[in-house]
Amino acid sequence: MKKVFVLFSICVAIAACGGGSSDQAENRDDSTEASNQVAEARNQAVDTNATNIGTNRATEDESAASDVSKGKDLIAKSDCLSCHRDTEKLVGPAYSEVAEKYEDNDKNLDYLAQKIIEGGQGVWGQVPMTPHPAISKDDAKEMAKYVLSIK
């Protein structure tokens, strides 16, 4: 944005100074050239902003992917996969079923993290979920983030 402002200021200064020539045609040409430079600077600024927006979205997508990959790694290192799969029901529900039932928000992340740690019974049938008291609250939340990302 600073580049655009500097370029615009230079163009205005060039147009204002005009060189002291009394030839009006020459002044019109300078004015037209300055206007063209300003228009080009605006186009470059728009292109730069569009590129930055695309880059920011890509960075956000990469950040979200790294958030859920930590949860996926934690699940892979635990005993979760003996009862659960991403898209098919085993002993417990598929992660995709859990993601359909619970909206991805802080309240549900806390709830599911607590379920991972304490275990439970009755929400998905009578087979109890084994408690995992050795898993930290933060790790359980990362695992829940991964589960809620499966659609």
CATH number at residue 102: 1.10.760.10
Q: Is residue 42 part of a domain?
A: yes
Q: What is the pLDDT of residue 140?
A: 97
Q: Which domain covers residue 118, as residue numbers?
A: 78-151
Q: What is the pLDDT of residue 31?
A: 55
Distance CA 114, CA 81 (A): 18
Q: What is the pLDDT of residue 68?
A: 86
**Averages of pLDDT over each 10 residues, the chain, 151 residues:** 54 53 50 61 55 54 70 95 95 96 96 96 92 96 96 84
Q: What is the pLDDT of residue 43?
A: 57
Q: What is the pLDDT of residue 4?
A: 47
Q: Is residue 71 part of a domain?
A: no
Q: SS3 for 132?
A: coil
